[in-house]
Structure 1
Amino acid sequence: MKQNQTQNEPKIQRCKRCKKRARMEEVNLCPFCYEKKCKEIEKEYEQSKQLFRKWYLRRDWLVLDTESTGGGREDEIIEIGITDAEGAILFESLVKPSQPIPKRTTDIHGITDEMVQDAPTWSEIWPEVGSIIQGKTVLMYASDADIMMIRRTCKKYQLPLISYDPRCVMKMYKQLHRDERFVSLTRALEQKEIEYIPSHRATSDCEGLRLLVLSIGAQLMEEG
């Protein structure tokens, strides 16, 4: 026993990865739960790496992004974009909503009431959109928002939902960096030094996400 450590002092816990002192009090976990959490993080990290590699090699996935009137229960989609893994635009359209677009959301994506005045309705475009994504792996950034808006807009217009495989790249990006925080698409592109600035329009965000996925996949393939 070290001279400056008494018998009653707790043993210093050290991280099994870096050997630094593990401060469990900062995450409010006991040593057992902290170790379990670390294992879960490592598992998610490996799963994310495998998927990014797979998507780099097998480019049979799609990218989808939507813009909406807001995030509330009565809000709806006003723009949707879908591209393939090579960047080809499979579908792109503004959508005429049944309500005015609030200024606070126009300030984000720049879409105004005048822009959607002559656009098709969701009922008119959904059959084509559904046929494109049905049965496909569809990558999104912050997918919960897009999935929710698709469901709510379909419900609003009494349209049937279709089956597809949505994947959230924002969540996977967080797991890949073993981080507790989510970052925006713009920030993720900056961190990967990808010279592309998405404009908060649907197909622009699709392209940013596509570049991010392929860049990460290429890096992981080089690392082996």
Structure 2
Amino acid sequence: MSTTTATEQIPSSRTEADPARVARGTPLSHRAGVPVYVWGQAPLYLRTKTQLVADRLNVTEAQEAAPLAYVRTRDYGDVPLHDPAAAEKMRPLPSATKAKMLARRTCSECGKVRKVILRGPCSPCRERAEIERQRLLARTCAGCSTVRERPYPKKHRRCAGCRQEQLEKKRARVEAWLIAVTVCAGDGCTKRRGSKKAARAYLKEHAWLLRPERTDLPDPMWWPGWSRWCPPCKKAYDAEQERRQAENQARYEREEKERREAAAREAEERCRWAAAALADPDVLVLDTETTGLGDDARIVELAVLNSRGEVLLDSLLDPGVPVPDDAAAIHGITTEELAGAPTFSAVLGQLTELLDGRRCLIYNQWYDVARLRHELTLHYLDRAAREAAEETGSADTLPEDVREQALSRAREQAAAWLGGMTFEDVMIPFSDWVGDWSDYHGNNRWQPLNGGHRAAGDCRAVLDCLRSMGRDYMDEYVPAAAVTGGSSEGTN
């Protein structure tokens, strides 16, 4: 990046150094032994890589690795300098490449070659085109688009006919507005409430209101100093507004009262539902512990209790897969603990007999029912696969279409089993009873069960939730009060 070209070479007969090869100032510092100069202080014969490329020279690898000096710049840091005598000459560009480069700098309109690459017409051509467009626009009527030789008046840019039509529309708008601001707006009232002279003076002061692009004038009721009604009509209007406001207020209070009453009825129904569930001897509570939260999680513990807290089923289940450490850290059930435990298929008969024809309450019903669906699908899939293997005659391998048929059949059987049961969720009613509202979710927050993360303990925690919800209505359900009171010590 030196600023001047090299001076003429000194004849060999002279002994003094060539001024172009002598630095014009002292270095600022050194980089790996190479001096770093301020701009304009390096030897004049040295060139940057960009300057060498402009002179059709390429920097060699040796020059790239060992520059002779650096020049310090503000934007690019220390820029290396090289000797042009040691650089390689660039090969001349092919004619086709030169033609392409020339075509990219040639204007498509005037055909002149510019210094920069063009994307469309050059700047002078674009300016001329814009001037021509403005001239054509000035000679085109804004109303009927008629083009003439001379420009139309700049004020309205319309021909005589269109200008006349514009003025007539303007006069009609002004007259309509004058009537609106000088005649009472009350129904059937024709009283004058202002002079047209004052209204015209107002329009004259606010000339922007009469611009051609405006289709109508603003409502005068919002303008200072103007009234929409005469005093009697204004009084009647205010009375009508007060009446409507009173009606709206009464309707709001009535709707708010109905909403509160509906919310109170729903809260009472939830509490009565909990008390009735505790009183019903056919009500069961079910809970599971699993290997995780995914869609393929397996059940490792299953418990079913009745409404009195008596344990009807409480068993560990061998899922056939290891229990992950994160799941075991929550419920404390390890893979070693499940050795020798029955499988889900082994307890399915007992579970079916317990749930058949009875109401089953679950805390977070959707999760536990999904785990039951998965276990049932695997159970029926094993049976369907055995049947398909017997049909195909090979128990080792099954065709892919046969596997798909077996899986579809297993899913249908699992859905049929679940469809024959009656499941009810406790988490949503209990969360609504607690009433911990969340603006983020738009509903009440789900409450933790706090049952110890074991199946039987969680079932007892569900019964505690029901007792909390239905305690105010226990007296109306005498069997529930009696049974609950007699068995509370054995269920906690």
TM-score (normalizing by structure 1): 0.72
Partner letter of residue 448 of structure 2? S
Give the aligned partner of residue 432 of structure 2. Answer: 175
Show the counterpart of 1:112: 334
Task: Identify the match of residue 71 of structure 1 among 282, 285, 293.
Answer: 293
Task: Work out whether residues 304 and 312 of structure 2, in 8 Å CA contact, stay in contact via their aligned partners in 1.
Answer: yes
Paired amino acid for 1:174: S
Distance 1:35 1:109, change over 3 A: farther
1:164 aligns with 421
Counterpart residue type for residue 176 of structure 1 = W
- Native 8 Å contact 1:63 1:209 kept in 2: yes
* 2:357 equivalent in structure 1: 135
Count of aligned pairs: 190
Match among 449, 455, 462 for residue 202 of structure 1 = 455
What is the rounded CA distance, in whole Å, between the counterparts of 2:259 and 2:333 in structure 1? 42
Q: Tell me whether 98-107 or 51-60 shows the greater mean CA deviation.
A: 51-60
Identity of aligned residues (%): 28
Deviation at 1:183, TM superposition (A): 0.5
The Cα RMSD (Å) is 3.2
Distance 2:476 2:311 in 1: 31
1:75 touches 1:153 (CA, 8 Å); kept in 2?
A: no
Q: Is the 8 A contact 2:270 2:469 kept in 1?
A: no
Larger Rg: 2
- Within the candidate set 155, 164, 170, 2:377 is matched to 155
> Is structure 2 residue 325 aligned with structure 1 residue 103?
yes
Please give the per-residue CA displacement for 1:55-95, whole angstroms capped at 9, x wherever unaligned.
23333211111001112121111100011111111011100
In the alignment, the residues of structure 2 paired with residue 181 and residue 66 of structure 1 have an alpha-carbon distance, to the nearest angstrom, of: 22
Query: Secondary structure at 1:210's aligned position in 2?
Result: helix
Unaligned regions of 5+ residues in structure 1, if any? 1-12, 18-31, 187-197
**Contact in 2 for aligned 1:41/1:178 (Cα 8 Å):** no
Change (3 A) 1:175 1:16: farther
Take 1:68 and 1:199, find their aligned partners in 2: how far apart are those partners? Answer: 14
Q: Is the 8 A contact 1:66 1:77 kept in 2?
A: yes
Q: What displacement does 1:178 show?
A: 4.1
In structure 2, list runs of 5 or more residues that go unmatched.
1-248, 381-412, 437-443, 478-492
Measure the CA separation in 1 of the matches of 2:455 and 2:311.
11
Contact 2:285 2:307 in 1 (8 A): yes
Whether contact under 8 Å (2:309, 2:460) holds in the other structure is yes
Q: 1:102–1:178: structure 2 CA closer, same or farther, 3 Å change rule?
A: same
Query: Greater relative contact order: 1 or 2 (C-alpha under 8 angstroms, separation 6 or more)?
Result: 1
Amino acid at match of 1:103: D
Q: Output the CA distance in 2 between the equivalents of 1:36 and 1:76.
A: 47
SS of 1:157's equivalent in the other structure is helix
The aligned runs of 1:49-88 (5 Å cut-off) are 49-88=271-310
Separation of aligned partners in 2, 1:40 and 1:144:
27
Partner secondary structure for residue 423 of structure 2: strand
| Runs of 4 or more consecutive aligned structure 1 residues displaced over 6 Å after TM superposition | 34-40
Cα 1:35–1:79 shift into 2, 3 Å: farther
Q: Report the residue type matching 1:90 in the other structure.
A: L
Cα distance, 1:42 vs structure 2: 4.7
Indicate conservation of the 8 Å contact 1:56/1:218, yes or no: no
Of 203-212 and 100-109, more deviation after overlay is shown by: 203-212
Q: Is the CA contact 2:430–2:465 (under 8 Å) kept in the aligned structure 1?
A: no
Match of 2:449 in 1: 185
| SS of corresponding position for 1:64 | strand
2:465 to 212, 220, 224: 212
- Residue number in structure 2 paired with 1:192: none
Amino acid corresponding to residue 304 of structure 2 in structure 1: I
Aligned to 2:214: none
In structure 2, the residue corresponding to 1:167 is in which secondary structure?
strand
C-alpha distance in 2 between matches for 1:169 and 1:118: 33
Q: Is this contact kept in 1: 2:361–2:426, CA < 8 A?
A: yes
